[in-house]
Amino acid sequence: MSSLPKAESPVTQPIYVTQPSLPSLEAFLPYLQEIWKNKLLTNGGPYHQTFEQALCDYLGVKHLALFTNGTIALVTALQALRITGEVITTPYSFVATAHSLLWNGVKPVFVDIDAKTLNLDPAKIEAAITPHTTAILPVHVYGHPCDMEAIQKIADNYNLKVVYDAAHAFGVQCHSGSVLNHGDLSVLSFHATKVFNTFEGGAIICPDAKTKQRIDHLKNFGFVDEVTVVAPGINGKMSEFNAAFGLLQLQHIDQALARRKEIDAVYRKQLADTKGVLCLGDAGEVVANYAYFPLLVQRDHPLSRDGLLQKLKDHGIFARRYFYPLITDFPMYRALPSAQRENLPVATDASAKVLCLPIYPALRPEEQQRVIDIIKGT
C-alpha cells in the first residue's frame, strides 16, 4: 500500500507561528559579490556602517549599535550602564530578558503585569523597589508599548535607569515618535522569527554618541584601539553578511508590515464574536508592527488552551504559547521570593491562556481561514 497522498487531496504545508520574510536570492547576490570583493567579513565593515545609518533613518533614532543578536545586546546594554544589585523586570517574556541580568550578576526582581497589555504593571513597581534597586527592565511584549510615561516617572523619583527590551518593537511608534527613544537604552532583536530579520542580529538604541562609543567598545572585547582594552567586553559584532542582508530587507519592510496589518485585521474581525476567545487589544501605539497575534483562550471555550493547541497541531498548524512557562517557572529563577505565583497572578493567568496564532507576510488567506475555522470549531 502506498502512503503517498491521493492525487486529488491537496498536499498542505505546515503552518508555523511565523516564517521569515526573505528577498529573492538573486537580489542578495550582488551584496555577496561585494563582500567577496572587499574581503572584509566583519569588525565594522562598509555594510555594517551603511546599515547602522539606514536603520537610524528608518526607525527615527539618532544612534544605534548593531549586534550579533538581541541577547548579547541586552547583556551589553546592562553592562554599559554599569547596572548592579537588583533590577525590576517582568516574568512574562522570553527567557533571554531575565538571563541578561544573571549574565551581569544582577538579581532579577519580578513584578506582575497589566491585564490589558500584558506589559510590566507600573502600579506594582514601587512596592518592589529596595535600596539595592538600580534599574527597571520592561519589555514591549508583542510590540505593544509599555506605559513609558509612568515607568519613567518612577525611575526619575528613585534615580533608576530604564532599559527597554524592545525585541518585539521594531518600527513601533507612539505619539512622541519611535518607542525606541524612551528610557536610557532600548534593545532590538533581528532574529529570524522577528518582523525584521537579519538571520540573527540585534541592536542597542543609544541616546548619544558617547554612549554608542562605549557600547561599540564593549561589543568588541573592550578594545578602544589596537593596544588598549578598557573593559571586559564581549564579541557582539554583527558580520557583513548579516548587515548586507539587513540592508536588503529594509527595502521590503513596509510591504511586510502592511501584509501583517491585513492578517491582524482578518483575525480580529472573524474572531471578535467567537465564544471563549479574546484577542489582545493594542496598547495605544500610533504605528503598530503586528509582530504577534496573541489569543487568550477563556474557560468557556469548548477546548482548553492546550486542547486547542493540540487540535491546531493535528491540522498541521503550529501555534505557540508565548509566554508559557513564565520565566519565573524556570529552575534558575523559581526560588526567588518575587517569583512566587501569589506575587504574579495576572502573569500566571495570561500564561495559562495565551496562544500566539500564525502571522507572517507569506501566510495565505486560505491558510489563515483554516486557522480561524478550527478556533471557531467549524
Phi, psi (rounded to 5 degrees) for 64 = -150, 135
Binding piece for ligand T4K, criterion CB under 6 A, among 24-32, 165-173, 276-284, 299-307: 165-173
Residue 199 Cβ vs ligand T4K, minimum distance, rounded to whole Å: 8
Residue 357 near ligand T4K by CB under 6 A: no
Tell whether residue 189 is a contact of ligand T4K (CB under 6 A). Answer: yes
Beta bridge partners of 109: 88
Q: Which residues in the chain belong to E strands, given as ranges?
A: 15-16, 63-67, 86-89, 107-110, 133-137, 161-165, 173-174, 177-178, 185-189, 202-206, 223-225, 228-229, 277-279, 293-297, 317-318, 354-357
Helix or strand run (H / E) with residue 297: strand 293-297
In total, the chain counts a number of residues equal to 378
Closer to ligand T4K at the Cβ: 75 or 301? 75
| Three-class SS state of 162 | strand
Binding to ligand T4K by residue 191, rule CB under 6 A?
A: yes
Q: How far is the CB of 21 from ligand T4K (least distance, A)?
A: 10
Residue of the chain from 42, 84, 193, 213 that contacts ligand T4K (CB under 6 A): 193
- Tell me which of 15, 17, 118, 155 binds ligand T4K, using CB under 6 A: 17
Q: Does the protein bind ligand T4K through residue 18 (CB under 6 A)?
A: yes
Neighbours of 79 (CB within 10 A): 22
22 part of the interface to ligand T4K, by CB under 6 A: no
Contact string 91-120 vs ligand T4K (x = CB under 6 A): --xx-xx-----------------------
Spatial CA neighbour of 111 closest among 119, 101, 102:
119
Query: Among the candidate windows 52-60, 164-172, 304-312, 332-340, which touches ligand T4K by CB under 6 A?
Result: 164-172
Answer yes or no whether residue 330 interacts with ligand T4K by CB under 6 A: no
For residue 186, give the DSSP letter: E
| 234 part of the interface to ligand T4K, by CB under 6 A | no
Helix (H) and strand (E) counts for the chain? 11, 16
Comparison of 76 and 181: residue with beta carbon closer to ligand T4K: 76
The answer to whether 169 and 140 are in contact (CB under 8 A) is: yes
Count of residues interacting with ligand T4K (CB under 6 A) = 24
Options 41-49, 191-199, 250-258, 324-332: segment touching ligand T4K (CB under 6 A): 191-199
Q: How far is CA 356 from the centre of its chain?
A: 13
Q: Give the number of other CB atoms < 10 A from CB of residue 256.
A: 21
The residue whose Cβ lies closest to ligand T4K is: 70
213 binds ligand T4K (CB under 6 A): no
Which residues of the shown chain bind ligand T4K in the complex (CB under 6 A)? 16-20, 69-71, 93-94, 96-97, 139, 165, 167-168, 189, 191-193, 202, 318, 320, 322
